[in-house]
Amino acid sequence: MIVAGGVVVLDHANIDTDQMFPGKYLTLISRQGFGKYLFEGAPQFLKQLEAHRDAKILVAGENIGCGSSREHAVWALADWGFRAVIAPSFARIFHENCYTNGVVPVLIEDRAAFEQCRSAKQLEIDVDEQVVRKDGTDIARFDLDPLRKEFILHGGFYDYLATKIDAVKEWAAKRTSTVG
């Protein structure tokens, strides 16, 4: 799987989930339409997003997604059109929410490689090979948890889980027939 496209850089550390998705909308439960609320409470970031409306890759500073553990923030990023987030560090729950919702969390701790991502107008993220490319050249490698990588490759946890339903039913049927 390749995520390729424009880059928008939010050159700030500690961008929290309340900035990404204001708490006043937490009563909404459908994943569709959340993009219109993305960074509503942080106009300095919203202006940058609107200037790069077709960007697929968000590059942010350290500790992206800190604050409350709202999955809505990742829903809003995905609904806006982001398919990957690159950062030198992620808040733990936000990182997990990216995996769960099919947004590739690309952790790049190497400062020089991260700077290349920050300066890019376009990037390519090869999820299978776990590499970031700029202008066709590998600039950074990153790690993905093998199971959670499968979530990404299937579009998120629930889509991944849907591929397992038949196998679970088959297992349950075998178990039932041998237990009785």
User: What is the arithmetic mean of pLDDT over 18-34?
Assistant: 85
Residue 171 pLDDT > 70: yes
Q: Which of 71, 93, 70, 82 is nearest to 45 (CA)?
A: 82
**For residue 165, is pLDDT > 70?**
yes
What residues does 12 pair with on adjacent strands? none
CATH code for the domain in which residue 154 is found: 3.20.19.10
Average pLDDT for residues 38-58, to the nearest whole number?
90
Q: What is the mean pLDDT of residues 47-68?
A: 93
What does pTM read for this prediction? 0.91
Which domain does 105 fall in, by range? 2-179
Distance CA 132, CA 106 (A): 9
> What pLDDT was estimated at residue 179?
63
The pLDDT of residue 113 is above 90: yes
Residue 116 structure tokens:
């290349």
Cβ contacts of 127 within 8 Å, gap of 6 or more: 1, 2, 3, 104, 144, 149, 152, 153
The mean pLDDT of the chain is 93
Q: What is the pLDDT of residue 180?
A: 57
pLDDT of res. 68: 87
What pLDDT is stored for residue 46 in this prediction? Answer: 86
Number of domains in the chain: 1
